[in-house]
């Protein structure tokens, strides 16, 4: 047993504990650190993993918006000199790909956070098409063959579940989706 304890070491500067739940419930918790083996792990309000800020998702949305608008500001000066297809490729690479990265984590967030993300996509579509920001954006998105951000999240999640039930997917996803599907039938 002592050999096992010696083999397990935590890097306490990279290990975090985070309480997840409703704000009213989390506010009742007075624990500020958790002892694990010989280390003390601090409680954090948000953490970053694979470039995603894990919290109540407001920090992730803020980071996405900041990065998206920054990229648009960088693209604007060269927009007039780029062919349309090049501009579309750049927007896809620097803006749409960021909106799509790990976006299934955004499922269920409040509508005001989705509106912030949608504003980036709207600005990018206006950038590409030259449409006025005052015009209705749905026809512009449709002309670019883009789904609105909330629908992109729904589509990606539905595709992930479909592949888990019908096609190639990781075994842990297949097991979880199958268990949910079976519980829905009974």
Q: Are residues 11 and 99 in the same domain?
A: no
Q: Are residues 87 and 6 in the same domain?
A: no
171 is a domain residue: no
Q: What is the largest CA-CA distance in the chain?
A: 69
Enumerate the β-bridge partners of residue 36: 39
The distance from CA 18 to its chain's CA centroid, rounded to whole angstroms, is 18
Q: What angle do CA 46, 21, 113 make, to 5 degrees?
A: 65
Residue pLDDT, tens place only, 22-34: 777 878 888 778 8
Q: Return the HEC string of 119-183.
A: HHHHHHHHHHHCCCCCCCCHHHHHHHCCCCHHHHHHHHHHHHHHHHHHCCCCHHHHHHHHHHHHH
Q: Are residues 23 and 87 in the same domain?
A: no
Report field, pTM of the whole predicted structure over 0.85: no
Q: Are residues 98 and 26 in the same domain?
A: no
Are 57 and 113 spatial neighbours (Cβ–Cβ below 8 Å)?
Answer: yes
- Residue 20: give the domain boundaries: 2-45
Residue pLDDT, tens place only, 24-82: 787 888 877 888 777 777 777 777 777 676 766 777 888 889 999 999 999 988 877 88
80 is a domain residue: yes
Structure tokens at 105: 């984590």
161 is a domain residue: no
Q: Are residues 142 and 55 in the same domain?
A: yes
Q: Are residues 41 and 53 in the same domain?
A: no
Q: Are residues 9 and 38 in the same domain?
A: yes
Q: Are residues 54 and 141 in the same domain?
A: yes
Q: Are residues 138 and 57 in the same domain?
A: yes
Confidence of residue 10 (pLDDT cuts 50, 70, 90): low
Q: Are residues 39 and 93 in the same domain?
A: no
How high is the pLDDT of residue 186?
Answer: 59
């Amino acid at each position: 047993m002592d050999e096992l304890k010696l083999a397990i070491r935590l890097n306490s500067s990279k290990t975090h504990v985070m309480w997840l739940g409703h704000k009213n419930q989390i506010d009742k918790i007075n624990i500020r650190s958790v002892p694990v083996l010989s280390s003390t792990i601090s409680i954090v309000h948000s953490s970053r993993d694979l470039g995603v800020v894990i919290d109540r998702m407001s920090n992730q949305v803020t980071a996405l918006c900041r990065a998206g608008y920054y990229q648009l500001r960088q693209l604007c000066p060269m927009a007039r000199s780029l062919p349309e297809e090049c501009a579309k490729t750049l927007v896809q690479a620097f803006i749409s790909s960021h909106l799509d990265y790990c976006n299934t984590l955004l499922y269920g967030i409040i509508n005001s956070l989705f509106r912030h993300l949608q504003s980036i996509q709207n600005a990018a579509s206006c950038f590409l098409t030259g449409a006025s920001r005052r015009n209705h954006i749905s026809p512009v998105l449709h002309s670019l063959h883009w789904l609105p951000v909330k629908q992109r999240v729904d589509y990606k999640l539905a595709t992930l579940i479909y592949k888990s039930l019908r096609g190639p997917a990781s075994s842990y996803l297949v097991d979880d989706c199958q268990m949910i599907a079976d519980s829905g039938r009974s």
